[in-house]
Chains A and B, each alone.
Chain A
Amino acid sequence: MRIRFDRGTLVLEAEHDGEQPGDIAGVAWDEERRAWRLPAEHHAAVRQELADAGVVVTDELDGHAAAMTWVVPGLRWYQEVALASWLAAGARGVVALPTGAGKTLVAIAAIAQLGVATLCLVPTRVLLDQWARALAVCTAQPIGRLGDGDHAVAPITVATYASATSWAPRIGGRFGLVIVDEAHHVGAWCPTEVFEMLVAPARLGLSATPPEDMAVLARHVGPVVYALTVEDLRGDGLAEHRLVTVPVVLDPAERRRYRELRGRFAGRYAAFQRAMPDAAWREFVRDSSRTTEGRAALAAWREYRALLAYPDGKRAALREILGRHRGSRALVFTADNATAYAIARELLVMPITHEIRRSERTRALAGFRTGECPVLVSSQVLEEGFDVPDADLAIVVGGTGSPRRFVQRIGRVLRPRDGKCALIYELAVAETTEAAEVARRRRGLGAAAVAQGGVS
């Protein structure tokens, strides 16, 4: 039987009498091309099935070995255990380590260990660049890039999720290992179809915050094979840190406006919840967009969120903190891009958003390292995977109640350095919905962090 790769699927053709591709589990008949197809990720399984049945196979997909020399820095104890656990699980599964613990290094060691062509999937263009540079440090071979204007495929290729989605039908047969960074996005930001279109039998997921429901990730990448938390590595693989919540009060005019908007929204939302107690937020949005009152409630919600994102109290607190820590390298996290730009405009500091191009981002990051540009402000781009060893101050101006996002954000300043104690300031408007959000997102850090207090 002949096995070929075509547009993200395997095509199975009989080569000898008696071979019946249609009998293989899960195949579908493509009437137009007159071919039996199977999603590419079933490659290893179908090979096994055919071998068990004694079928001779001509496989166009045999051999993903990449003759490359790697120079991998020494691994810390937990990185070695993580790698060994993954290999013991058949080179499939998720390694869950806190941000700053060196997940990328575990991945590079895995590539060197298997010696096969590898596709690394990352969520953002910033991470694309960062991964390509990290890989280039460990090998002299050119690193392929897909995304942010690049279309170069090599035995070791880094691709953004979006580019991988469009390229997988063409290149899905070329790799023996796929690594997915920030693997908790699999099934949402990173479509599962990408994995279906990849032949790669070896799969490594990396995440600081694996999802509670692992079903999708486990099916396409594997289960969690090794996990440590921030507290497990505090003072060992991660820097010591201190979390400080700064309560902020609205001025009388802001307070009045907040109450008016909140009331307008809450009345409508409460009525909806009474009528549909199990409905999700998106159902409320859909329902509200159909009526004038509903749209007014949604507009009020948006407006009070914008008000809480950067009221005068936060503005003053941010200036005070930056003044107190003049010279420190600080990452400022905001609820949205508008706030990031507002801070950048007021304080003349560099924003890092999806609109800032790679060359400018690279310059900004270099400036951050040298201290020329010691403050970066962002709503989302800096959240995941951003690697700045010397950042020691994080200021969370605004965000959501998501524990996962909070863990990702503060992880940016936890990369270890001798004697380092990272400081994380969290600005929260008292007596508003933000107080509850602070409490909710702290759960991501464990009981110790929750006990450090919040805002009433």
Chain B
Amino acid sequence: MIAMVYEEPARVPRLYDEGDLPWIAQLLDIVEQSVGEPWRVLVERVDHAPLRVHPSHRAAMLQALRRVLGGAGQRARIARRARTLVLGPPALDPVERHARLATAAATLGTTPEDVESLLWIDLAMERPVVLPAGRPAETELAAFANLERIQRCVRRAHDLQLRVWDRATELVRTVARYGLISQIRCDGDATVLDVMGPLALFHATIVYGRALAQLVPLLAEHPRFELDIRCRMSGEEARLHVAPPVWLPPAPASRRAPSAAERLASDLEALGHAVMREPTPIVSGAHLLFPDLVLDRSTGRGTDRSTDRSTDRSTGRGGGRWFIEVLGFATHEYLAAKLDRYRGAGISRVVLCADLATAPGCEFTAQVCGFTRHVEVDDLLATIEHSGPG
């Protein structure tokens, strides 16, 4: 499969840069003038404003503005309360209507006009425009709009190829977390990830587009990258190419629960073991290996961030530095191939942790520690003792 070769000519999506700042500034002027008005009024004003850009760019910028401003849930409770008090049988004449609003106003301790203005303030087009942190910067808006535009392309992607020159680890882990499959290889000094979903092995599908789009925000941390997207645009196959300079918002801080590898590292550290988390990827032929941690059993103290293989020397059984990789899905052949790749890189002290829920029977392989949900430290150490010195 994969190791994809993109032969069709690439298109470069229209992204926002310095040239767009004047009209974005004009758009933000309209936003400032619309503070306090419902969003539908702002949208209408922007639609009819003499901005010299395609309507799709105005819409993209307004969407970015929503992302920057947030606040969708603000005052939702008040609106729901007002609706509960006011909405009911149809108020077919003005007197009946005003009486209903007046009754609700008395309950809420406000005026009928206020009640009417509160009724819909939680709905996307009805809530008022507010700028809680003042006028956003044009560049910030452009960065969010760029992110949205790239993600929109990726959501329609069958597969993508990502080339980075630094810090591939978080990308690799994100690919795994979203259940995607990838082939990772070295190409000169670049790391290349060919990413797709399992069903894409059988036919082109965009069903993984949302998962693939989760990789895009992470690119903000890469000063150098190349993203090639094979997707469907307007009913046609297309290839898009994105590379810096691209304004993107800062990558969001990860809010995910700790992974099995992170929990294992914490458990080991709590027991006084020296652990290095997320060591540098290891080159093995054309492949790259991403161990989750290194357990240093020679010193009993913390280790540095180097993966210098000279430390793969120990005298005692189970001593020295052990590379640990926690796997999700595995087969016997996959485990064997992975161990071979580590050996190919000159590393024999490695333990693969296989989730028994997805890899039944794999725990009987040497250098493999089976686990269910949580890797037990005792099981890992026992596997090391059995496997050592490798």
The residues of A with any CB-CB pair to B shorter than 8 Å are 2, 4, 6-9, 11, 13, 26, 28-35, 37, 39, 60, 165-166, 169-170, 191, 193-194, 196-197, 282, 286, 289, 295, 319, 322-323, 326, 338, 341, 344-345, 347-350, 355, 357, 360, 363-364, 367, 372-375
Interfacial chain B residues near A194, Cβ < 8 Å:
207
Q: Sample 26 A-B pairs with CB under 8 A, ordered by A number.
A: A7-B179, A7-B329, A13-B331, A13-B332, A30-B1, A30-B198, A32-B181, A33-B330, A33-B334, A34-B333, A37-B202, A39-B199, A165-B207, A169-B197, A170-B179, A194-B207, A289-B54, A338-B40, A341-B125, A341-B126, A348-B90, A348-B97, A349-B88, A349-B90, A372-B88, A374-B90
Interfacial chain B residues near A373, Cβ < 8 Å:
87-89
Distance A456 CA – B201 CA, assembled complex (angstroms): 54
Given A196-B199, A295-B55, A345-B119: A13 touches B333 (CB 8 Å cut-off): yes
Q: Which residue of B lies closest to A298 (CB)?
A: B55
Interface pair A9/B360, CB less than 8 Å apart? no
Interface pair A30/B181, CB less than 8 Å apart? yes
B45 within 8 A of A: no
Interfacial chain B residues near A344, Cβ < 8 Å:
87
Interface pair B1/A7, CB less than 8 Å apart? no
Segment of B63-71, B78-86, B143-151, B313-321 in the binding face: B78-86
The 9 closest A-B pairs by CB, nearest first: A193-B207, A28-B201, A347-B90, A34-B333, A348-B91, A34-B334, A350-B87, A7-B198, A9-B198
B337 within 8 A of A: yes
Interfacial chain B residues near A191, Cβ < 8 Å:
207
Interfacial chain B residues near A7, Cβ < 8 Å:
179, 181, 197-198, 329
Interfacial chain B residues near A289, Cβ < 8 Å:
54-56
Interface pair A348/B86, CB less than 8 Å apart? yes
Total number of B residues with any Cβ neighbor in A under 8 Å: 53
Interfacial chain A residues near B333, Cβ < 8 Å:
13, 34-35
Interface pair A348/B331, CB less than 8 Å apart? no
The residues of B with any CB-CB pair to A shorter than 8 Å are 1-3, 40, 54-56, 76, 80, 83-84, 86-92, 97, 100-101, 119-120, 122-126, 179, 181-183, 197-199, 201-202, 205, 207, 210-211, 234-235, 329-334, 337, 358, 360-361
Interfacial chain B residues near A345, Cβ < 8 Å:
119-120
Distance A322 CA – B92 CA, assembled complex (angstroms): 8
Distance A6 CA – B334 CA, assembled complex (angstroms): 14
Given A9-B199, A197-B199: A169 touches B120 (CB 8 Å cut-off): no
Given A7-B198, A197-B199, A345-B119: A34 touches B331 (CB 8 Å cut-off): yes
Given A193-B199, A341-B126: A4 touches B358 (CB 8 Å cut-off): yes
Interface pair A348/B100, CB less than 8 Å apart? yes
Interfacial chain B residues near A31, Cβ < 8 Å:
1-3, 183
Q: Which residue of A lies closest to B79 (CB)?
A: A360
Given A30-B198, A373-B87: A193 touches B181 (CB 8 Å cut-off): no
Interface pair A282/B179, CB less than 8 Å apart? no
Distance A345 CA – B83 CA, assembled complex (angstroms): 10
Interface pair A6/B329, CB less than 8 Å apart? yes
Interfacial chain B residues near A166, Cβ < 8 Å:
210-211
